[in-house]
Chains A and B, each alone.
Chain A
Amino acid sequence: MRRTLEVDGEKIAIWLASTGGAHVVHCDDGRELPCRLLPGPGRGGHVLELGGQSYPLRLAVGEDATFVHLDGRTWRVGRTDLAQTLGGAADGAALDVLAAPMPGVVISVAVAPGQEVAEGQPLMVIESMKLETTLTARRAGVVAEVPFVRGDAFDSRVVLVRMEPRKEGM
């Protein structure tokens, strides 16, 4: 239940606590804001109770920011949920290793170590159980290792192509 908010050009990490009827917003700089948000007049209308005062406002929640109309001014508050960006992110490095799905033979090899390849580029062709399969690069990058050559037999789950780890900004 942590978020990072961006207000007025500043990033603030917060977490929210609830003690029954009221909430407390805890900020990473030590600020604690006991507050309540109640419905208010108008579409998107609310009343925020904070520090003993009531603030009528209008708000709308967007995908990654919340817009607040407060006291004749409009503000955009950016919202980031680190857990969303970190926790569920497709893990790039898993695409770095191509392993043999079952024992087979190398028919042809199209790339060499050090070669830069694009996503989807054919890397090698293998044959298993009378089935020919073309292995393609799962992401753009540089080939690190191709342990087998044409004609080699290999076992199941053996590494057929390894990519260099993805560099920052790739």
Chain B
Amino acid sequence: MRRMETRVRPNSPEFRAAAAEMEATVKRFHEIQDRTRHARPQRDIDRLRRQNKLLVRERLTLLLDPGTPFLEFSSLAANDLYDGEAPGANVITGVGVISGREVVVHADDSSNKGGAWYPMTVPKIVRALQFALQNNVPVVHLCDSAGGYLEDMAQVFAPGGRVFRNQCMLSKRGIPQLALVLGHCTAGGAYVPALCEHTIIVRDSGAIFLGGPPLVKAATGEEVSVNDLGGADMHTSISGTGDYPVSSEQEGIALAREIVATFPRKPRAFDWAEPEAPYYDARELYGIVPTDYRIRFDMREVIARIVDGSRFHEYQPNYGTTLVTGYARIWGCKVGILGNNGVLFNDSSLKAAHFIQLCNQTGTPLIFLQNTTGYMIGREYEERGITKDGAKMLMAQAGSEVPKITVLTSGAFGAGYYGMCGRAWDPRLIMSWPASQMGVMGPEQAARTLGDVKLAQMRRENPDLPDVAVQELRDRVRAKAANETSAYWYTSRLYDDGIIDPVDTRNMLGIVLSCAAGVTPAAPGYGVFRM
């Protein structure tokens, strides 16, 4: 594989201006993320200290191997919901390294509302468990939650069952789970530890019961203490719901690490070589990808700053040129990359379908770098069957046995978002860059279309609509559209697995590939159809 050439001139004024804008956007993202992760009311921190509890990120520091990475999923889940009362949806999920093994971590964040599960908490946990299922990765649960958030219980209840169902499926597939009970596991929450292969309960803080003492008293009149009803000793010596009682969180975490050290190691699929850092500086991505999705850039320049040695073997370089396809290595793993370089035409759609089949034939994971405004429209393209060709692309992509990972770099609109492995198409992970935007159509277009419809409506009712009212309507619609195409809006609702700084993309891909290597892809059903 040859090193890619670059046409980027990092010292040019245009580049610097673009980089400055993107850096400001990224900086804003980090500020929001830091606040979401760390800002908590002092009284909540004081309460935890009084209860002898560690903060959730302190627990993670002790739990994870020092000097190893942690990829956090959906850090900004629920960022614009519930009046901001549930930062990160009150839970931390992600994949890290414990005793030398990759582990999916689900940790309740009791520093906010006692770690109560809001409606958005459920899909976040479900997603993490699904990642574990798809990639055969063990799970550690740090349980410390007040249970479902009572006001919104109706929205938590039905979907919530999927958490426990996924736990059962993990166990069925032989993927071990460990629960460290550091707080109360009440009602539904009691099933998290009960469905794990290994359960550790911290004396005097941890407890498991279907109903807590107040509920029991109200229901049957029985008066019983937390410890007697569901404490560490009761469950580990009488009921058998728990396995190990410990006297402190530190002890529990040390024991958890010891147990994880006994989990079997998986053999590694895919083609791995010695990793090599990219030749070009990843920080140049800030100047390459604009904050406005309407401005074009060459996706090859992005690829050059993500892959090993900036080496890329382009496939069919002269055909279907609005889609770049080719092979590279990321952290040593050989991957097939598809990246948008314009609108998807018939030939680029066919090229995608063809390339996807090739990668399935060789068991090569697929990386989708999205920057699409969709498939081409117009009579010529319809006659050539643009929808049919798009369908081929979807069929090949959906039927892939190899893992797929998606990155939204800039624009992600229309069916192109689907074709390039959007959320619903089961990428192992899908993450967005801070300035990326997605939706059925671009916000201006959406604003114009919706505005026109609404305006017509309003004019029918009031023929003398003043200009200022028109302007106010257009502004309102534009703001709504802009908001509902922003990465923050999507990430809040778990339509992706988190927003990520462009320079962190390479590490994210490496970690996901390493996890995905735990499952050998099945052979494809057919040989390759040359499209």
Contacts and interface: CB of A to CB of B under 8 A. Distances in A.
Q: In the complex they form, do A and B come into direct contact, defined as C-beta atoms under 8 angstroms apart?
A: yes
Given A93-B233, A94-B233, A83 B238 contact: no
B67 interface: yes
B66 A86 contact: no
A41 interface: no
Nearest to A96: B233
For chain A, give the interface size range: 20 to 34
Interface in A64-119: 82-83, 86-89, 91, 93-94, 96-97, 99
A91 B254 contact: no
Nearest to A165: B203
B66 A87 contact: no
B51 interface: no
Given A86-B250, A97-B233, A157 B66 contact: no
A2 interface: yes
Nearest to A98: B237
A26 B66 CA distance: 9
B254 A82 contact: yes
Contacts of A149: none
A1 interface: yes
A24 B67 CA distance: 10
Given A17-B66, A97-B233, A86 B254 contact: yes
B237 A94 contact: yes
**Chain B, interface SS category:** helix
Task: Describe A's contact surface by its main secondary structure.
Answer: mixed
Interface residues of B, number: 20
Given A1-B65, A1-B66, A93 B247 contact: yes
B251 A87 contact: yes
B65 A86 contact: no
A87 B257 contact: yes
B285 to A, nearest CB: 25
B258 A17 contact: no
A55 interface: no
A87 B254 CA distance: 5
A26 B248 CA distance: 25
A23 B335 CA distance: 30
A15 B244 contact: no
A87 B258 CA distance: 7
B66 A93 contact: no
Interface string B395-418: 000000000000000000000000
Interface in B194-210: 203
Given A94-B237, A97-B233, A83 B257 contact: yes
A159 interface: yes
A94 B247 CA distance: 10
A17 B67 contact: yes
B56 interface: no
A167 B302 CA distance: 62
A158 to B, nearest CB: 9
Contact of B238 (A89, A93, A99): A99
Interface string B214-253: 0000000000000000000100111100001111101100
A91 B233 CA distance: 11
Nearest to A162: B233
A148 to B, nearest CB: 16
Contact of B246 (A17, A91, A99): A91
A162 to B, nearest CB: 9
A156 B255 CA distance: 30
Interface string B318-339: 0000000000000000000000
Nearest to A166: B247
A56 B347 CA distance: 67
Contacts of A91: 244-247
Contacts of A17: 66-67
Contacts of A99: 237-238
Contacts of B66: 1-2, 15, 17, 26
Contacts of A83: 254, 257-258
Nearest to B237: A97
A161 to B, nearest CB: 12
B96 to A, nearest CB: 14
Given A26-B66, A157-B239, 7 more contacts: A15-B67, A83-B258, A86-B248, A86-B255, A87-B254, A87-B255, A94-B237
Interface of A: 1-2, 15-17, 24, 26, 82-83, 86-89, 91, 93-94, 96-97, 99, 157, 159
23 contacts: A15-B67, A16-B67, A24-B67, A26-B66, A26-B67, A82-B250, A82-B254, A83-B257, A86-B248, A86-B250, A86-B251, A87-B257, A89-B251, A91-B244, A93-B233, A93-B245, A93-B247, A94-B233, A94-B236, A94-B237, A97-B238, A157-B239, A159-B238
Top 4 A-B residue pairs of the complex, sorted by shortest distance between their CB atoms: A17-B67, A15-B66, A87-B254, A86-B254
